[in-house]
Structure 1
């Protein structure tokens, strides 16, 4: 079993090395006040004027300034078979993680993060960007999203997945989703509540950023500050 380097009864804000808008950080901190940096995310934290509770990763992207400033909270995990995002998620125990700075930089880094999401859906990690919130749907569990009329609901499979839905303009029953086949982007909510259920892990749900609380509620988080 992995040693938990950070434990919290509330959400964790996890920072990566990619671009992070200050307004997005403020929004995340209001819901998840404890900050953890994944490797080079420590340098992003410095730019944002934030001191992380811990810095986790192989630390090969960390600047000298960040090493010196955060020397008392560095946790080096030297293995190279996983990403720093995965290393951080594995060593955090919290109801959910809001993850910033992981989707607006290099495309290969973003794809690796999405791959990790579907491999660890139990971590309840949500990727935030200026426009979107992305999370992995659990398998064999119905999720219910309270959404405004005509809200965008995009589904992108990272594996072969089938599912059922209610409240979508284009129902997903009978569709065999796969990364190299059918995908489900730009669907639209037609009811106050959208329900989704998938037979296997591997489906990413992508919503407008404004629906972050709806996503958290759908995943069953009970420790959202200000809720």
Structure 2
């Protein structure tokens, strides 16, 4: 078990060192007011006038200037090199929801590692990745109910072999064996409210960015 560094009764915004527009961070903080940075995400936050309550990572990319501006008790240095800073931070947060910005849209290898962590840590705090066009989450074991409008794009991408059930999708997934090197479910469509259940971890759910409010309400259990 990982000991929580940040424990919050409110949703947490986790900021990474990637490209973060000011409106993205403002949107995230409106939903998740507790700000935590993964390594050089602290530089991004400070540049936009926000001071993170905690910085977690191996600090290989955190600037000296950012270190100097932050109280020592907010800096949580995790030295091991077997995991990414996103992993280090996500596993160290105990909160009802994590909204992550600054982790998508840069190098493909970095994005793949983030998606890998997202499904491996699906048993912890629910996490939603906020991108320029989409939001991404791991399908929770407890199921997911989304009051989507007819025609909304619902993409399902498995990162491990998984089966599931659905209602409200134009192409149901019931009885299908899905795998990253086999059948995937991109560009499906909602015909109205959608429910999803999966038999195990590994399924990514990818929705248009404007569905963020619906996703947060579905995942956030105060």
Q: TM-score range by the shorter chain?
A: over 0.9
Structure 1 segment 174-193 matched on structure 2, within 5 A: 174-191=175-192, 193=193
Matched, 1:43 2:27: no
Give the conservation status (yes or no) of the 8 Å contact 1:17–1:40.
Answer: yes
In structure 2, the residue matched to 1:222 is: 221
In structure 2, the residue matched to 1:204 is: 204
1:133 match: secondary structure: strand
Q: For each residue in 1:103-156, what CA deviation from the matched residue of structure 2 results, as whole angstroms up to 9, or x when unmatched?
A: 1111111111100111111220110012111000123x3211111221110101
Q: CA RMSD in A?
A: 1.1
2:191 match: secondary structure: coil
In structure 2, the residue matched to 1:63 is: 63
2:87 match: secondary structure: helix
- The normalised TM-score by structure 1 is 0.93
Could you tell me how far apart the structure 2 residues matched to 1:47 and 1:129 are?
Answer: 20
Could you tell me how far apart the structure 1 residues matched to 2:155 and 2:21 are?
Answer: 23
In structure 1, the residue matched to 2:129 is: 127
Question: Number of residue pairs matched?
Answer: 220
1:118 match: secondary structure: helix
TM superposition shift of 1:40: 1.0
Give the conservation status (yes or no) of the 8 Å contact 1:21–1:130.
Answer: no
Could you tell me how far apart the structure 2 residues matched to 1:181 and 1:16 are?
Answer: 31
Unaligned 5+ segments in structure 2 are none
TM superposition shift of 1:71: 4.3
In structure 1, the residue matched to 2:34 is: 34
Q: For each residue in 1:159-185, what CA deviation from the matched residue of structure 2 results, as whole angstroms up to 9, or x when unmatched?
A: 001111110111112221111111111
Could you tell me how far apart the structure 2 residues matched to 1:79 and 1:187 are?
Answer: 40
Could you tell me how far apart the structure 2 residues matched to 1:200 and 1:148 are?
Answer: 27
Could you tell me how far apart the structure 1 residues matched to 2:50 and 2:25 are?
Answer: 10
Could you tell me how far apart the structure 1 residues matched to 2:175 and 2:3 are?
Answer: 42
